Structure 1
Amino acid sequence: MRPDQEATWEVTMKNLMGTSFIAQLKCIAGTYPPFVALSEGDIAAKSGWLELTHDSSRSVAFRFQFLSQTEDRFHYAITGAEEAGYYADAALGVSLNSYVGLYHLATVENVWKFDFTATGLDEEGFWLRDKDGYRMAVTEIPHAGFVSIPGVAGVPRLNVASGTLARFELTAVRALG
């Protein structure tokens, strides 16, 4: 797409699927914050884990590289976009503890499925499933080194093992040539 076309090009899931693009993810999961960001803090620093925040300026940009399509799913390799800094080109993967993050490890199997089963392709929301078919969810991790403190809210992080199912929308979308 040429820059002068951008203002008239309508971004819908219908015209994005089957193409490659860069976008940020907005999460819809109960009362959790909506913006997907890289983890911060002493324990999680440089872990690449993805967490949710109310601070839109922390939203991370992802590159969605189209791989293939089945009757009801679109398959993508997802990596950090150039704007992700240290995590540019790092693959979206799942840790041994089931946390979703951007990882530089060569062993990451980077196939993610856009699932429109419940919403349909005409709707904006979708689920993301890992290579094994598990949907992304949100779980809270305690602030104090994985030790729960009563009355203290944890950090909402994305995972594929448990928690509140996370539906996503795309924001700040840019088509790739």
Structure 2
Amino acid sequence: MDKVIQDKYAKTFHASLMMKFNNNLITVRLSEGKEKSTWDFTPGDDWLVVKAGTIPNGMEFRYVSHTEDRLHYHIHLSGQPDKKLGVSRNGYLGFYRIAEVTDYWEIEPLYLDRDRLFCHLRDQSGNKVKVMNYAPSYWGYDHPPAPLNVKEGEVATFALDLSC
């Protein structure tokens, strides 16, 4: 792993998560049960979604360990240490308060650009996080929130933004 990346990210830090799409960065944030959805069910709060033009949620990446090509973290909501990122039985990413989440998340660094780490996010089994129900040629402000999933969708590239 690149020494600069290891020195900067092989520790606990706070960041927002953005998804790269057509050379733009789109916000990754929590779902709200009241909003229009493209899901196959009505989502409640605290699922991770992608939605253009919204404010990202800050997250705490608690460092666990690293390998030659991965950084391992438990991911919590900033200011809410009791909410931890996990995966539902259907593969959706969400923050859990009551259910115990023991698995860590893997960051696969791709490159650094403007103090952002571009990466793939993987679950502990190595499955890449994907975005569901997106329009490949367009993603505007009126596009409904799209869920993140480890089982289906299009593989997403993310940016960790430390300026949150």
Compare CA radii of gyration and give the structure with the larger one: 1
Question: Structure 2 regions of 5+ residues with no counterpart?
Answer: 35-41, 135-142
Task: Find the counterpart in structure 2 of residue 160 from structure 1.
Answer: 150
Which of 23, 32, 37 is the matching residue for 2:29?
37
State whether residues 29 and 165 of structure 1, in contact with CA within 8 Å, keep that contact through their aligned partners in structure 2.
Answer: no
**Greater helix content:** 1
Question: Could you say if the C-alpha distance between residues 29 and 110 of structure 1 is closer, same or farther in structure 2, counting changes exceeding 3 Å?
Answer: farther
TM-fit CA distance, 1:19: 1.1
The whole-number CA distance in structure 2 between the counterparts of 1:92 and 1:30 is 27
Task: Find the counterpart in structure 2 of residue 108 from structure 1.
Answer: 101
Q: Deviations over 1:39-66 (max 9, x none)?
A: 12343233x2111111232x11110010
| One-letter identity of the residue aligned with 1:167 | T
Question: Could you say if the C-alpha distance between residues 33 and 21 of structure 1 is closer, same or farther in structure 2, counting changes exceeding 3 Å?
Answer: closer
With structure 2 as the length reference, what TM-score do the two structures score?
Answer: 0.75
The whole-number CA distance in structure 1 between the counterparts of 2:81 and 2:53 is 20
| One-letter identity of the residue aligned with 2:43 | A
Q: State the secondary structure of the residue aligned to 2:7.
A: helix
With structure 1 as the length reference, what TM-score do the two structures score?
Answer: 0.70
**Greater strand content:** 2
CA RMSD of aligned residues (A): 2.6
Q: State the secondary structure of the residue aligned to 1:125.
A: strand
Task: Find the counterpart in structure 1 of residue 37 from structure 2.
Answer: none
